[in-house]
Structure 1
Amino acid sequence: MTITLDIQQPQPFDLVGSKILISGNAAAFEGTLSIRVSEGHDEYASFANVGALGLRQFQGSIDIPDTNSFQLNRLFLTLADDTGNENGPSVVIPVLFGPKILPGYGGWQPYTVKPGDTLTKIAQQQYGNSDFQPIFQANQHILNDPNVIFPGQVLRIPRNDI
């Protein structure tokens, strides 16, 4: 009962939407990986099929039907061999949940910080208001303080479909 997982998508701290796409290479017992998404309060589960013999490419996804069910914007995606063994091998990937960061989240675009930029100034340019929290939260893996950004730094600007 061995499992080999090479997860290529999502990467740690990727900004994801309500449909989380998963891909990589795996060899799993009976060809099934379980997929769980949780933030410690609520959880969603699904599965993906992979080749049972040898390492095989796989693609899967998990839908989060109620984006308000999570209390936090940092989620943990867990992939594991679907053998029913809770202590079996698994991979845990932290991801940032866009719908908790920006209502109507529909993706993001890169923005390169220019001299004189502040998060408030960028928010004003991008959203028409000074609420920089969506930008700060979408970049929490690289920003510790909203007052400290550097020219040349590439930030993710969350966009909405509303």
Structure 2
Amino acid sequence: MPPTLDIQQPQPFDLVGSTILIAGNATAFEGTLSIRVSEGHDEYSSFTSVGSLGLRQFQGSIEIPNQNAFKLNRLFLTLADDTGNENGPSVVVPILYGPKILTGYGGWRPYTVQPGDTLTGIAQQEYGNNDFQPIFQANQHIITDPDVIFPGQELRIPRNDI
């Protein structure tokens, strides 16, 4: 059976916190997959176990111990079966790092854009100030211009634990 990596969590551009949960289906040499999270400057790594015979479901996680661990908020999670072969199969998933987007990041909630909404207005409603950058950064995969949002768009509103 050829090596297989099917990552179901996180999906591309998911907004993640300090503990990044990873799940999917895989075959892996000796039952181990390596996990790396990087943004081109800094990197954290770990591993997770997979059954060694045939395609298996797996769950794993990697903990980023410092909220300021990265310089950028767009990260790349790489999951690889390189335990037996340095050039084994791998999957790279772009993710957004919540703690770099909003201080004290503790998750997000969905928000449906209404007619007349602006990012500044949504920020005022959600945070009590006009700083729309956390909303813009958390939705950078769907918003390219902060002055252009559309009724019906589903946005992620980052929340903090502070």
TM-score, with structure 2 as normaliser: 0.97
Partner in structure 1 of residue 81 of structure 2: 81
CA distance in 1, matches of 2:63, 2:127: 27
Whether the 8 Å contact between 1:13 and 1:94 is mirrored in structure 2 is yes
Query: What is the CA-CA distance between 1:83 and the residue it aligns to?
Result: 2.0
CA distance in 1, matches of 2:2, 2:51: 13
Which digits, 9 at most, give the CA deviation of each residue in 1:49-100, with x for residues without a partner? 0011111110000000012120000000000003253322100000000000
SS of aligned partner of 1:51 = coil
Query: What is the CA-CA distance between 1:5 and the residue it aligns to?
Result: 0.7
TM alignment of 1:55-134, pairs within 5 A: 55-83=55-83, 85-134=85-134
CA distance in 2, matches of 1:84, 1:141: 35
Give the percent of matched residue pairs that are identical in Structure 1 and Structure 2.
Answer: 83
Gaps of 5+ in 1: none
User: Which AA in structure 2 matches 1:23?
Assistant: A
Runs of 4+ deviating beyond 4 Å = none
SS of aligned partner of 1:93 = strand
Task: Report the RMSD for the aligned CA atoms in angstroms.
Answer: 1.1
CA distance in 2, matches of 1:161, 1:22: 23
1:125–1:144 Cα change, 3 Å: same
User: Which AA in structure 2 matches 1:92?
Assistant: V
1:149 aligns with 2:156: no
User: Which AA in structure 2 matches 1:148?
Assistant: V
CA distance in 1, matches of 2:141, 2:5: 23
SS of aligned partner of 1:121 = helix
Whether the 8 Å contact between 1:2 and 1:29 is mirrored in structure 2 is no
TM-score, with structure 1 as normaliser: 0.97
SS of aligned partner of 2:30 = helix
CA distance in 1, matches of 2:25, 2:152: 34
Query: What is the CA-CA distance between 1:26 and the residue it aligns to?
Result: 0.6
CA distance in 2, matches of 1:148, 1:74: 21
Partner in structure 2 of residue 43 of structure 1: 43
Query: What is the CA-CA distance between 1:3 and the residue it aligns to?
Result: 2.3
CA distance in 2, matches of 1:59, 1:25: 9
CA distance in 1, matches of 2:144, 2:9: 25
